[in-house]
Structure 1
């Protein structure tokens, strides 16, 4: 509780706040998104334990909570679960005595800021986090926040210049310091928008690093590539993955109520354009798509096209509202008449300069310096609607800042400026300085897409300065960039550069492990490279921990099914694949002659006949199958062991951490009695009784091929019974002249 003195002052000030002003209203219903919630410390090299939530797809209400829990290993306890319930990620803040740090990560436009506003809204409604007396939602791009040197300064940024604000802020600050920040919760929005030099040496940096107010609660949002330095400090990490496909379709129906033809058109369009469908898992992108549809614009085929149309239409609509309509809608940004063309040029230059400086927010003075024509043109003051103007209040008055509506708009305009305005020597210098920067990755992807890689400066950069235009070996260090380049030049019909890439690409393993949030375009680039490249035999293809959903695997399947390439090892572990992907996986395994398949840590793989086909088809080459932590249902497990019974190639099978119960004992027994190829079987961490395990072991008396069997841990008596059966089986094998022993891995459970 606050001290009586501060509480009395707050009570006197309360007349300014009523039910209509606090808590702040939400303009639209909050849309619960798919969240992956990690509890405990997580190493950077450690695969993220994930599973896809099965839900109804109704975005107007929270779906029934269903979560999947797992421990990565016994030495480093770690729990991950998939949820849509906001409270699931905040429970530790409510219940633990120790101060907690929640790190929220996600792509631009995915909903990080909206989630923080929803948390603040529910706190104000007294629906959650009521153990905190004070909650402060702070936007880290705010210049006043960045300049704050005391807690009083932060509190004053909420007060809009009230005469008594300074006195109230000082007393609240004293109280908070006396209690080391206990009962205070900071919501820091946009760590990626906080200047790098302030992340350590600033008031905000001191709070995040627990140098001051060490008992406060922290929730910080950021794009993933910026928040690496915070992950060790975070006790909870949350990844926002955006819409699922079900929510995507529901959102369209909700937005186009009473327009059945439009709903049908967009639904078919997304089914036919998987790249755009994947883009629309990010809420901001589906909003743009609906906007284009509403304006009657042909729907786009790629992300650059999507943002291009959005920018052109936003400019036209803004000028029309300002009383300066154009005679014709612009189709290219170069179509704008003066002075609007000059304004856009200045805005694009500002976008590039700011991106180079990692700047996302501009003061009025900076806008005045960089964009003279914007300031002089009233209808362009907010950049034709592409900028957001924000007022900031302090005791000395109010200031105004600007930022682009979305980071991708800034990146698009920056790429457009490079293409239309930069001289070749400056363009080449920029490529050399910034091409490998994570900060510029999306801008350069737009740049390459818009030019199809046909810029002379770009080709010269690729060659390392060689005018003969060959590909520098440096580009082979980043496989994903290599695949993007290959597709751009292939689409542009530039076979000479494609052959140069092929000649330089000497790797026989494609490893994208841990490349989280792979876009649909990226997946297409990878699959396109595989099927177009002259090299057809690949040792390994790894999408381990890439957050791929069913629609993403559909893209890969479209290219690989029926292809003439061979992939020895295929890793799809730690993704969000469901039983809907079973047919895709089966087709790829058979078409590409896959021998080793990893589908662990996905949700319910193989509930249909595809799993049986994949293991028993005459053309199947599959010898090793890892499918631990796939939430195998009884039907799926029965299908699996029926396939094991009939398979003559499968040698290793991993089904740890599933839901294999006693009713599967007979099916497993039959499979192991009949199968003559299986060498290793892992069954630990399944709820199967000791009696059932003993029954299975006894059946192995007739099996001479199995050499390794891992079973759950049991009590001492059962443990020694298992050992006795193991010795009996090995004695029998020895008498028959069989050299391969059976080893049963089983620990004593205390």
Structure 2
């Protein structure tokens, strides 16, 4: 990507950089080391290890073999920690040589974090030490403002020191509070420059790219830790004053802001800001007010000091959380701006004026929002734009451990979810992790209470998960009062109104319109109340709960016209807003899923289920020249319905699935696995260039043995993925006849397990291993299996496999394979030395009918000799 490209470093540049480094004193280098330490660790982990060690070795700083063994034995993180610490303790020359090595590496490896750190050091080096000191100690303030700041920090510490966890229905009777230092887990924040209208629901879209980001993390993903949000931005060539942080609902935007404010108040982050003001858009009412009044409403004790506080805008940071939940339409491009903090204006004008620096010029602003809201907002006025990606796998596992507190139970829960692609997809979202942990804890308790209960009790689809979550809420309330079905219908209608209108925050008026009594005990299990009277707002615990209740409403109160309208509207939304709603409404068509709620609300509408099934069937049959995303959306609904008979009857004889050059997320792979299992026999599945990584392959592997022609071309599959491929090929019912692994990342390490797979498989006839680096000792073992008299392989491709002349003699053993008719060994490095053996192979192989041997560094004479062999064996087509 262009924005990640570094400059081409010349010798003059290097000399100039070296001179700049030489000017720093030892204490300055030590200050910079501490400041950049986290960045440097991430950079070392992300860059090519061989390249880093080569540069350091060139400067006589380290022994490459030692650190290679460290990485192999202890992993990338331990390697980075040890290397950096050793450089740090080796003295001034080592530190200077290390920075110089990184400077040279940007030519070959323009990783954005590397570019950012070097750029910050070069561009701000003259004042960097002062900046670091200011961030550590804060500005000098008059005595009255010092006392005021201390009071403000103490107030913010009380507000932010604890994380409040929602009630877990059936487990606790009230919300639980935990120290933020104890429960906070790092969220992945990455740079992001584009907020387009997304063709998918934002939770699905982000979940889909999550593992893709994980793969990219080692190449060109810029990671933004909280202490870098207001540091030098190499893209914009400035220290940012306006920063935007986006993230899907529940991913942790508010929690990240809470931790940010807590760390500032505790003296550990950005002390350059004398005062930080934290607001939630949902709590800012529609009435016009001034910035001064806005601050006083939230922090009344600052009243007498505001004039002094406003004197130094550069020392102020304003945080506005939840742009998408604003009651006002915030227009950051509006022409009307204000300059006076005491001027009465709308919230929109005040926020826009702060961001655009007409109000308190020099101040800093941090805003959070959902990505979908930002598709219609002018974001170019922000100096830094970033997106919270939520949890990566290690953090997900930690969350489960924190929730269950029992290692065995946490491992059991996480393993179950990790093995279930449907449930695992959204686990990057902390609030979703809370929902699934809550449900699984209930299931485990029920299993302990009834030892006869089996694992079948656990949810298998996302719809079952939410049905279980709701049943736990209702079971908890059933102990006190009977369930009011009309309340559930009302809250379902309000939820659907919110889904259709992009509303997450509801007013008292909204509740009144839909006859939802917010004071009822049951209501508090679904919605959270925020703000102070008279400006109180309500929101569902999570967007997905809102979408589930919207779907459930149609099964509680079935109207053929209403349901049909809802289905059509959800299907027609181009931004994917209706996708999860459709998946929930499809999932509830499954009788076993509906049965989870029967004890509390009675039978859910069977006619509604039939209506949805007919809709799904029609959706498949009316897909004319569809794009792959629409196909997968329908397939996802079918997977939630768990209706294999519907899949088989609807797809019919169309057993060819072409997804070539279409990005398949792990969830898509899970969905496809269900479709393939339902079809049982598929003629062709083309997954070439679908960016399938390890997790995606694991998700779909259970059904790949049912495919006759399987293409996994150009997916960057690695040696560690071969055990999965082995399990596919050795499945007892494997029917794969044609299998392409062309252009992946396989090496000689893959040869032995592939050899075992081929020897055990009875269906395979066509194998393409081209464009993989197979050369090595283990390749001979693969060739031995392919040469066996019992081998059934008829067509074999080993084009561009990095094979050299010494391998050509072994190819003669292929004459023992009586079934081989086509062999492609072109684009290797055989040269003239390999010609005698290739000649003998062509002349002596009894069944061979076609051989491709071009692009093998042959001389013109050797090529003529090869073509002349055609006369001696006219039945063999020789291609150069």
TM above 0.5: yes
Choose the corresponding residue for 1:560, options 701, 704, 717: 704
What TM-score comes out, normalization by structure 2 length? 0.57
CA distance in structure 1 between the aligned counterparts of 2:353 and 2:809, rounded to whole angstroms: 63
CA distance in structure 1 between the aligned counterparts of 2:318 and 2:827, rounded to whole angstroms: 51
Q: Which residue of 2 aligns with 1:117?
A: 258
In the alignment, is residue 481 of structure 1 matched against residue 624 of structure 2?
no
In the alignment, is residue 346 of structure 1 matched against residue 490 of structure 2?
yes
Q: Which residue of 2 aligns with 1:584?
A: 724
CA distance in structure 1 between the aligned counterparts of 2:366 and 2:542, rounded to whole angstroms: 22
Q: Which residue of 1 aligns with 2:570?
A: 434
Structure with more of its chain in helix, by fraction: 2
Three-state SS of the structure 2 residue aligned to 1:432 is: helix
CA distance in structure 1 between the aligned counterparts of 2:743 and 2:328, rounded to whole angstroms: 39
Q: Give the direction of change, closer, same or farther, for the CA distance of 1:481–1:255 in structure 2 (3 Å limit).
A: closer
Q: Which residue of 1 aligns with 2:539?
A: 403
In the alignment, is residue 491 of structure 1 matched against residue 643 of structure 2?
yes
Q: Give the direction of change, closer, same or farther, for the CA distance of 1:198–1:42 in structure 2 (3 Å limit).
A: closer
Choose the corresponding residue for 2:466, options 302, 307, 322: 307
Task: Show the 5 A alignment for 1:68-107.
Answer: 69-70=218-219, 79-80=220-221, 92-93=232-233, 97-100=237-240, 107=248
Cα deviation, residue 256, structure 1: 3.5
Q: Which residue of 2 aligns with 1:690?
A: none
Three-state SS of the structure 2 residue aligned to 1:402 is: strand
Q: Which residue of 1 aligns with 2:515?
A: 371
CA distance in structure 1 between the aligned counterparts of 2:458 and 2:210, rounded to whole angstroms: 36
Aligned length: 621
In the alignment, is residue 418 of structure 1 matched against residue 554 of structure 2?
yes
Choose the corresponding residue for 1:649, options 792, 796, 816: 796
CA distance in structure 2 between the aligned counterparts of 1:276 and 1:370, rounded to whole angstroms: 32
Task: Show the 5 A alignment for 1:722-741.
Answer: 730-731=859-860, 733-734=862-863, 736=865
In the alignment, is residue 388 of structure 1 matched against residue 528 of structure 2?
yes
Contact 2:682 2:708 (C-alpha < 8 Å) held by counterparts: yes
Q: Give the direction of change, closer, same or farther, for the CA distance of 1:32–1:253 in structure 2 (3 Å limit).
A: closer
Contact 2:195 2:374 (C-alpha < 8 Å) held by counterparts: no
Q: Give the direction of change, closer, same or farther, for the CA distance of 1:413–1:193 in structure 2 (3 Å limit).
A: same
CA distance in structure 1 between the aligned counterparts of 2:227 and 2:766, rounded to whole angstroms: 46
CA distance in structure 2 between the aligned counterparts of 1:208 and 1:506, rounded to whole angstroms: 58
CA distance in structure 2 between the aligned counterparts of 1:589 and 1:239, rounded to whole angstroms: 39
Query: Can you list the C-alpha shifts for 1:176-209, whole angstroms capped at 9, x where unaligned?
Result: 4xxxxx6766655445545795355544884798
Query: Can you list the C-alpha shifts for 1:440-467, whole angstroms capped at 9, x where unaligned?
Result: 2111211110124964544565577xxx
Contact 2:656 2:683 (C-alpha < 8 Å) held by counterparts: no
Q: Which residue of 2 aligns with 1:286?
A: 433
Contact 1:615 1:643 (C-alpha < 8 Å) held by counterparts: no
Q: Which residue of 2 aligns with 1:533?
A: 679
Q: Which residue of 1 aligns with 2:62?
A: none
In the alignment, is residue 159 of structure 1 matched against residue 299 of structure 2?
yes
Q: Give the direction of change, closer, same or farther, for the CA distance of 1:264–1:531 in structure 2 (3 Å limit).
A: closer
Three-state SS of the structure 2 residue aligned to 1:342 is: helix
Q: Give the direction of change, closer, same or farther, for the CA distance of 1:41–1:257 in structure 2 (3 Å limit).
A: closer
CA distance in structure 1 between the aligned counterparts of 2:156 and 2:269, rounded to whole angstroms: 19
Cα deviation, residue 364, structure 1: 3.2
RMSD: 5.4
Contact 1:187 1:218 (C-alpha < 8 Å) held by counterparts: yes
Choose the corresponding residue for 2:188, options 13, 27, 35: 35
Query: Can you list the C-alpha shifts for 1:17-68, whole angstroms capped at 9, x where unaligned?
Result: 35574382143435545737458889999x98977879xxxxxxxxxxxx95
Q: Which residue of 1 aligns with 2:669?
A: 523
Q: Greater RCO between the two (CA within 8 Å, min separation 6)? A: 1
Choose the corresponding residue for 1:513, options 659, 662, 677: 662
Contact 1:149 1:203 (C-alpha < 8 Å) held by counterparts: no
Q: Give the direction of change, closer, same or farther, for the CA distance of 1:264–1:152 in structure 2 (3 Å limit).
A: closer
Q: Which residue of 1 aligns with 2:63?
A: none
Cα deviation, residue 15, structure 1: 4.8
CA distance in structure 2 between the aligned counterparts of 1:281 and 1:270, rounded to whole angstroms: 12
CA distance in structure 2 between the aligned counterparts of 1:699 and 1:356, rounded to whole angstroms: 71
Cα deviation, residue 366, structure 1: 3.2
In the alignment, is residue 242 of structure 1 matched against residue 391 of structure 2?
yes
CA distance in structure 2 between the aligned counterparts of 1:637 and 1:219, rounded to whole angstroms: 53
Choose the corresponding residue for 2:753, options 595, 610, 620: 610
Query: Can you list the C-alpha shifts for 1:272-305, whole angstroms capped at 9, x where unaligned?
Result: 6554355545433332343335443453232222
Cα deviation, residue 565, structure 1: 3.2
What residue ranges of structure 1 are gaps of 5+ in the alignment? 55-66, 71-78, 177-181, 328-335, 629-635, 656-666, 682-694, 710-725, 744-750
Q: Which residue of 1 aligns with 2:121?
A: none
Cα deviation, residue 128, structure 1: 4.2
Q: Which residue of 1 aligns with 2:621?
A: 471
In the alignment, is residue 448 of structure 1 matched against residue 586 of structure 2?
yes
Q: Give the direction of change, closer, same or farther, for the CA distance of 1:514–1:734 in structure 2 (3 Å limit).
A: closer
Cα deviation, residue 418, structure 1: 2.2
Q: Give the direction of change, closer, same or farther, for the CA distance of 1:303–1:84 in structure 2 (3 Å limit).
A: farther
CA distance in structure 2 between the aligned counterparts of 1:595 and 1:443, rounded to whole angstroms: 37
Choose the corresponding residue for 2:505, options 335, 346, 361: 361
Cα deviation, residue 541, structure 1: 2.0
Cα deviation, residue 361, structure 1: 0.6
CA distance in structure 2 between the aligned counterparts of 1:114 and 1:599, rounded to whole angstroms: 43
Contact 1:112 1:240 (C-alpha < 8 Å) held by counterparts: no
Q: Which residue of 1 aligns with 2:101?
A: none
Contact 2:589 2:609 (C-alpha < 8 Å) held by counterparts: yes
Cα deviation, residue 731, structure 1: 4.5
Q: Which residue of 1 aligns with 2:652?
A: 502
Query: Can you list the C-alpha shifts for 1:301-357, whole angstroms capped at 9, x where unaligned?
Result: 32222222223333554x59xxxx427xxxxxxxx44xx433333222211112221
Query: Can you list the C-alpha shifts for 1:103-122, whole angstroms capped at 9, x where unaligned?
Result: 65555433343334333433
Q: Which residue of 2 aligns with 1:686?
A: none
Q: Give the direction of change, closer, same or farther, for the CA distance of 1:460–1:35 in structure 2 (3 Å limit).
A: same
Q: Give the direction of change, closer, same or farther, for the CA distance of 1:386–1:435 in structure 2 (3 Å limit).
A: same
Contact 1:36 1:80 (C-alpha < 8 Å) held by counterparts: no
Q: Which residue of 1 aligns with 2:26?
A: none
* Pair member with larger Rg: 2
Cα deviation, residue 540, structure 1: 1.6
Contact 1:133 1:183 (C-alpha < 8 Å) held by counterparts: yes
Q: Give the direction of change, closer, same or farther, for the CA distance of 1:650–1:185 in structure 2 (3 Å limit).
A: farther
Q: Give the direction of change, closer, same or farther, for the CA distance of 1:488–1:265 in structure 2 (3 Å limit).
A: closer
What residue ranges of structure 2 are gaps of 5+ in the alignment? 1-133, 163-177, 200-207, 335-347, 447-456, 591-606, 787-794, 812-822, 839-851, 869-876
Q: Give the direction of change, closer, same or farther, for the CA distance of 1:254–1:611 in structure 2 (3 Å limit).
A: farther
Cα deviation, residue 358, structure 1: 0.9
CA distance in structure 2 between the aligned counterparts of 1:514 and 1:199, rounded to whole angstroms: 34
CA distance in structure 2 between the aligned counterparts of 1:532 and 1:190, rounded to whole angstroms: 42
CA distance in structure 1 between the aligned counterparts of 2:728 and 2:569, rounded to whole angstroms: 40
Contact 1:279 1:285 (C-alpha < 8 Å) held by counterparts: yes
Three-state SS of the structure 2 residue aligned to 1:240 is: strand
Three-state SS of the structure 1 residue aligned to 2:687 is: strand
